[in-house]
Structures are given as C-alpha cells and as structure tokens.
Amino acid sequence: MKALIVDDSRIMRNILINILKETKVDSGDIFDAPEGKAALEILNLEKIDLLLVDWNMPELNGLDLVKIVRKMDKYQNLPIIMVTSEAARYNVVEAIKAGVTDYVTKPINARIIMAKIKDYL
C-alpha cells in the first residue's frame, strides 16, 4: 500500500506523513513531493494507492495534476483526496469535476482525515 503526499508546505507534508503513519501504510511506502511535476515523476515510477494533494502549489498545481493523473490508465480508480485551504463551494465543485474522490479543507482535523484515509486504503 503506497501513498503520495503533494504539498508545497513541508510542515503540511510532515503533518500528513505523521497521520499516514498511524494507518496501515508503512513508513517506507509514504512518498512526498512539493508540487505537481515532482509528484508525476513518482506516480510514473511507482504504483501509488492513495494520493493526498494540495491545490495551490508552484509549477504544476494540484488541480492540473489531478486532471493529468485521471488520464493515466493505471490511476483511473486511484483515491485522490484534495487537502487544501480553498474552502469555497465552487472550488469543491471544480475539484470534483477534475476528478478528486474526496475534499478536505485546511486547517485539517487529524481524526477526520485519518478516517477518510482508512476508508480508501
């Protein structure tokens, strides 16, 4: 079971890594990237089972990353949780249209996001 966290904030990546460590994902199977292009390299090399992705990032943002990932054959059914500060309803709609499976707004509640992660693993 492999998970990938994509967020330009190292603090947020560390928070999410620590949450994932509390689930059945082994530490060695947790990958992270600071933006979409670096994430795509990992997605191409590995077979990721869960993607946690921020929206606003430099280079390739999370929304565009999700659109690309959904066109990749091996990730048609990949659970993608968008974890973002973008809290407006029109943002949620846009993200779902792009292909996200679930949407969590920052500031995150560790218990809620852990429950969601467990649902998808």
- Interacting residue with another protein among 3, 4, 5, 12 (CB under 8 A): 12
**Count of residues engaged in binding another protein, rule: CB under 8 A:** 21
Chain centroid to CA 15: 13
Kindly provide the b/e burial profile for residues 74-104, where b requires at least 16 CB atoms within 10 angstroms of the residue's own CB.
ebeebbbbbbbebeeeebbeebeebbbbbbb
> Taking the complex as a whole, how short is the minimal distance between the CB of residue 85 and another protein, in angstroms?
3
Interface with another protein by CB under 8 A: which range of 24-32, 42-50, 55-63, 96-104?
Answer: 55-63
Q: Does 87 bind another protein (CB under 8 A)?
A: yes
- Indicate whether 111 belongs to the interface with another protein (CB under 8 A): no
Cβ contact 40:34 at 8 Å: no
